[in-house]
Amino acid sequence: MAFLKQKFLWIGVIAAFVVLMVFGVAMMGSVLGAKPKDIPVALVVLDKPADLPIGGQLAVGNLIKDKLLAMDQLPVDWKVVDSEAEAREGLDQQKYYGALLLPGDLSSGVLSIQSPSPQPATVKIIANEGMNTAAATAVRTILQQGTKLISLELSKQVLAVVGKQMNQIPVSAAQALLTPFQVQEETVHPVAANNAGGSAPGMLTQIMWIGSLVTSIFMFLAAQQSFTAGVRKLPVLALQSVIGVAIIGAVSGFLVWMASSWYGMELAHAVDTWLFLWLVGAAFVMLQSSLLSWMGFPAMGILVLLMFFSLPLINLAPEFLPQATHDWLYSWIPFKFATSGLREVMYFGGLEAVTWNGSVLWWIAGVFPGVIAGIRRAKREGRQGQGFIVKLMGPGHL
């Protein structure tokens, strides 16, 4: 009974439930409701209507376009563009997860089914794998199913037209009716070998966060010991930032070398990946060091929670996330900018492909050293002000 009366026993029970709730929200609550919605996909309609033998015209491209735009159940946000070149430029600029290209001879190719030598046109499905492998796979599957349904409907319509013109349908035409157009699939910005199915940027970001955190902790301890020894704070803070960034440069280089040499991760832009990882690590170190300077070791709780809340999100496409998770968490976490920037470097052409993700990381790495110095100065002035009050009022008043 004495054991059951101990406060620590019941505090431990409550703490276990609290920890389960917090980490349950972090690991499950933010992603279990994830499902694709409003995935941007380019639609290119180049088809020219063909004249029907019985009068009128057949415009297969516009028919497919109308059918696709009317399918509200598809989690796709169609972006109609004027040319294949424009669509491919959008894929390169990460505007679209995929594209559907309807060629100029689509209608004439469908009508050729009734001829002795059918020549069906080729519809292109393009998946932009580098943006996000899961999203690109979803787009590819959606477009495959959509074109299949439309193909079946077209077969029925063409069969009706052909049936009005002839009593018997040639074998070649009957076979062509099964596939009124061909489908060609293409992948752009493919994920390289041993890249964890496209999750390598998120994986490298996680490892970099942990390496940066270890660096920040030991830099913080070294700075504290220097302050205790009476060393001036400004030189110590400056040296802390410089040495921390230098260590991170070596760590990020070792990480790239380890990933490629030990585990065979194929990196088309290895040097660019190293340089960007260096920037990521520098931003992480500055952010972590600022919190440690402000709060001390209690900041570790915030940093660990930030990591656990972020890890389930960084390998998901933003269009897959619940709206609340996207707006209140994903939109600002530093992991997002690091992972997205690494995707740009690794799959879209190196450092030249980096967009505003790099600017955000530069801002974090550049601003937070000043934050660290400001925190230290505020603490020093606070202690000096307290000492002045003690002298003025006398210790008996405190």
pLDDT tier at 100, thresholds 50, 70, 90: very high
What pLDDT score does 393 carry? 47
pLDDT tier at 177, thresholds 50, 70, 90: low
The mean per-residue pLDDT over the stretch 214-236 comes to: 85
| Residue 219, pLDDT above cutoff 80 | yes
What pLDDT score does 397 carry? 46
The mean per-residue pLDDT over the stretch 165-194 comes to: 74
> Can you read off the two tokens belonging to residue 148?
């299949």
pLDDT tier at 188, thresholds 50, 70, 90: very high
| Residue 398, pLDDT above cutoff 90 | no
- Write the single-letter amino acid at 392: L
Cβ atoms of 130 and 93 within 8 Å: the answer is: no
User: Which segments within 167-271 are labelled E, that is strand?
Assistant: 182-188
| Residue 136, pLDDT above cutoff 60 | yes
| Residue 166, pLDDT above cutoff 60 | no
pTM of the predicted structure, to 2 decimals: 0.84
Cβ atoms of 364 and 285 within 8 Å: the answer is: no
The top-scoring range by mean pLDDT among 19-33, 41-55, 135-149, 333-347 is 333-347
What pLDDT score does 25 carry? 64
The answer for residues whose C-beta is within 8 angstroms of residue 293's C-beta and 6 or more apart is: 220, 372, 375, 376
What pLDDT score does 239 carry? 85
CATH annotation of 39-188: 3.40.1710.10
What are the sequence ranges of the domains in the chain? 39-188, 196-390
What pLDDT score does 236 carry? 79
Burial of 50 per CB tally in 10 Å (0-12, 13-18, 19+): middle
User: 177: closest CA among 226, 111, 224, 103?
Assistant: 111
The mean per-residue pLDDT over the stretch 213-224 comes to: 91
What pLDDT score does 308 carry? 86
What pLDDT score does 388 carry? 41
60-75 residues labelled b (16+ CB within 10 A) or e (exposed): bbebbbeebeeeeebb
Nearest 10 degrees: Cα torsion 262, 266, 269, 270: 0
Dihedral of alpha carbons 194, 196, 198, 203, sign: negative
The mean per-residue pLDDT over the stretch 57-73 comes to: 87
- Write the single-letter amino acid at 308: F
| Residue 389, pLDDT above cutoff 50 | no
pLDDT tier at 237, thresholds 50, 70, 90: confident
| Residue 171, pLDDT above cutoff 70 | no
334-358 confidence digits (pLDDT tens)? 999 999 999 999 999 999 999 999 9
305-333 confidence digits (pLDDT tens)? 899 889 888 988 999 988 888 888 899 99
| Residue 392, pLDDT above cutoff 60 | no
Q: How far apart are CA 340 and CA 146, in angstroms?
A: 30
Cβ atoms of 91 and 188 within 8 Å: the answer is: yes
| Residue 150, pLDDT above cutoff 60 | yes
pLDDT tier at 366, thresholds 50, 70, 90: confident
The answer for residues whose C-beta is within 8 angstroms of residue 294's C-beta and 6 or more apart is: 375
Higher pLDDT, 81 or 180: 81
Residue 221 burial (CB count, 10 A)? 12
Specify the long-range contacts of residues 4-8, CB closer than 8 Å, at least 24 apart.
none
What pLDDT score does 390 carry? 44
> Can you read off the two tokens belonging to residue 6?
């101990």
Output the average pLDDT for the chain.
Answer: 84
What pLDDT score does 224 carry? 86
Q: How far apart are CA 117 and CA 332, in angstroms?
A: 58
Q: What is the DSSP track for 280-346?
A: HHHHHHHHHHHHHHHH-TTHHHHHHHHHHHHTTTTTS-GGGS-HHHIIIIITT-HHHHHHHHHHHHH
What is the percent of the chain where pLDDT is above 90? 47
